[in-house]
Amino acid sequence: MQRFFLAALAAVSCQLSVCHSAAATRPNILWLIGEDFSPHLGCYGTKEVWTPNLDKLAADGMRFTRAFTTAPVCSASRSAFMTGMYQTTIGAHHHRSHRDDGYQLPAGVKVATDRFREAGYFTANLRELPASFGFKGSGKTDWNFSYAGKPFDSDQWSELKSHQPFYAQINFQETHRTFKAPAKADPAKVELPPIYPDHPVARTDWAKYLDAASELDRKIGVILAQLEADGLADNTMVLFMGDHGQAHVRGKQFVYDDGLHVPLIVRWPRGITAPKNFKPGTVSDQLVCSLDFTATSLALAGVKKPADMQGRVFLGDQSEPPRQYVFGARDRCDETMFRFRTVRDARYRYIRNFMPERAFLQTNAYKEAQYPVWNLIKELGAAGKLTGWQKNFYLSPTMPPEELFDMDADPHSMNNLVASTKPEHQAALKRLRGELEKWIEESNDQGRIPEPPEVTARKGATKATPDGDPKAKKGKAKKQ
C-alpha cells in the first residue's frame, strides 16, 4: 500500500512538473499598437525620423516588410484583428457602425482575449502605467459590435508581474492626428511622396507625422526598459504593429499600400526556446495580414487555431503555408460611402471600386477638419498648380472601376496598369481579379448587402470611449 501511495505521489509530482514546465514555456505576450502608422521607421529606411528603440527591437527580433491590415480605418481594422476574422465576414466593415444597436458577433466568433482567458492567460488593455512614465496608454478598442461583459481583466501595468502568463496590449496615439510631438524633422529634408504637392504645407505636415513617430519610439523605449526592470523581458514576446496605415490624404480610409501597409516587428524572449520559423535579427518579406498576428499569438500561447478563424499562423509548431495573397476592404467611413476591395501578392496590388461614379475627394468632414493637405489640394487645383498626375487623380469627378499597380516598379501606386498591353500585366490583372472574386464569395463578404437605413443614418456619429463603450456624440468632425 505504501509503495502504491509513493508511486501515485511520484506520478502526480511528475504530472505537476510537466504541467509546470509546459506553463513555463508559454510566453507572456505584449502587443504595442501604433495608431494610423505605416512603416516609417529608421529600420525601414525612412529619413528624418529617430527610432532607436524600435530599430533595436527589429535588430533583436524579426522585421516583416509585407505586413498589411485588412481595413484602412481603425474600427473595421480592429474588429478584424481582435477576432482573427475579416471585418467583411463578421458584419463589422462599416466604420463605427453597430456601436449602439446591440449587434453581436456571429456564432463561434470570439474576441481574442476570451480565447486567451480560456487558455489561462490574464488579459490587459493597459492605460494605467507607472507614474514615472509621464504618459498613459490610450486604451483604444473601437469595435463595430457589442461585447457583453468585460473584454479585458485589467488596465493596470502593476498587475502584470503577479498575473502571468498574460496577454496585454498598449495603444499609442502619437501618430494619430492631431500630431503634437516635439519638432525634429526638417520639412525641407523629408522624402515627401510625389502623390502630394511639393508645398510647404505638405512638407510641414509630413515632418510632423515623422516627429510623431519619433515620439512614439521614445515611449516604446520607456515601456521596453520597464519590461526589463520588472524581470519580464526574458519571458515576454513583444509584437509591434500599426492598427492601419498612415493618416494622410491617400492613406487612411483608402486601400492603397499607404492605407494598409503597416510595420510588424516581433521579438521573442530570451528565456524561452524560439518557435519554428522565428529567426532573430532577420528581415522577412513573407506576406502576412493582421488576422495572422492574432492567430499566431494565440498559437504561441498554446491555443489550437479555431477551424473557422481566417487568420493564419506563421510562427511555431502550428505554422501554416505562407500566404500568396492578402486582402483588404473599405466601406462607409462616417458620412462618406465607398466600397473598395483589394488583393495584393508579393508584387502587384489590384483594386476593385464598386462605386466608380464617386470622386476621390467627396465630402468627408473629418478629413476636411484634420488633414491640411486635403484642403491644400483643392486650393492648388483651383489655381492650376497641381502636377498632371495629381490633377487627374484628385480632381477627377470619378474613379477607375479597376486599378492594378506594380508595387516593385511603382511603390507610390501612380501608374494604373489595367489598360497596359504587356502580357505580364494582363496576366496579373486576370489572376488577381479572379482571386478577389473568389475571396468575396468564400469569405461571405457582407458588403454585398446594403447597410440598413437606420444604421446609415447615424453617419458615424458615435465616438468610441477608451473602454470600447461608445457614447453617441454629434459633431462635424470626429477623431478616428
Residue with cell 500561447: 301
Walk along the chain (480 residues) and give the pLDDT tens digit of each residue: 444 444 444 443 433 333 333 444 899 999 999 999 999 999 999 999 999 999 999 999 999 999 999 999 999 999 999 999 999 999 999 999 887 788 999 999 999 999 999 999 999 999 999 999 999 999 999 999 999 899 999 999 999 999 999 999 999 999 999 999 999 999 999 999 999 999 999 999 999 999 999 999 999 999 999 999 999 999 999 999 999 999 999 999 999 999 999 999 999 999 999 999 999 999 999 999 999 999 999 999 999 999 999 999 999 999 999 999 999 999 999 889 999 999 999 999 999 999 999 999 999 999 999 999 999 999 999 999 999 999 999 999 999 999 999 999 999 999 999 999 999 999 999 999 999 999 999 999 999 998 877 776 664 443 433 343 333 343 344 455
The helix (H) or strand (E) run that includes residue 19 is helix 2-24
Q: Where are the domains of the chain?
A: 27-324, 340-464
Q: What is the pLDDT of residues 435-472, one digit of tens each?
A: 999 999 999 999 999 887 777 666 444 343 334 333 33
CATH number 2.30.30.830 given to 27-324 = no
Report how far Cα 32 is from the mean position of its chain's Cα atoms: 11
Alpha helix (H) ranges present in 82-132? 112-118
- Angle value at C-alpha 285, between 314 and 84, nearest 5 degrees: 35
The helix (H) or strand (E) run that includes residue 204 is helix 200-229
pLDDT value of position 478: 47
In DSSP notation, 260-280 reads HEEEEEEE--TTSPPPTT--T
Cβ burial, residue 418 (10 Å; 0-12/13-18/19+):
middle
Task: Please tell me the distance from the alpha carbon of residue 53 to that of residue 435, in angstroms, as a whole number.
Answer: 39
Q: Residue 223: CB partners within 8 Å, gap ≥ 6?
A: 32, 129, 133, 170
Task: Please tell me the distance from the alpha carbon of residue 264 to that of residue 239, in angstroms, as a whole number.
Answer: 7
Task: Please tell me the distance from the alpha carbon of residue 328 to that of residue 290, in angstroms, as a whole number.
Answer: 10
Residue 285 three-state SS: coil
Q: Output phi, psi for 349, to 5 deg.
A: -120, 130
